[in-house]
Amino acid sequence: MTSLVLTDLPVNLIIFILSTFLGVELIRHVSRLLHTPLMSLTNAISSVSFVAALIVMSETTNTFILTLAIVGVALAFTNIVSGFLITDRILRMFRPRSEANKKSSK
């Protein structure tokens, strides 16, 4: 496994910043009807990020990289959990009233 070279850091930061702006612009123009499928897709992407950050955490000895990996794990985990909670809440809105009342009374 190759280690992070210090000269790659500015290039990686530029790629990260550009991809962040691209992601924000793409999500901003998504129809509200596609919100739930999009949320499911971002949960899948966050789970990949979560696993990748765990792998980095297990193999690194650099404190800075370890700190970034811990932050990545925390953010990805928060996104995964909140995404599933929001998706479940949205899907509950489309259930018939009788089925929703049965589940809430249990």
pLDDT value at residue 74: 92
Handedness of CA 99, 101, 81, 14 (dihedral sign): positive
pLDDT value at residue 5: 54
Distance CA 61, CA 12 (A): 20
Supply the pTM of this predicted model: 0.57
All structural domains of the chain with their residue ranges:
33-105
Separation in Å, CA 97 to CA 72, 86, 92, 105 = 39, 19, 9, 12
Name the stretches of the chain with pLDDT < 70: 1-7, 32-36, 98-106
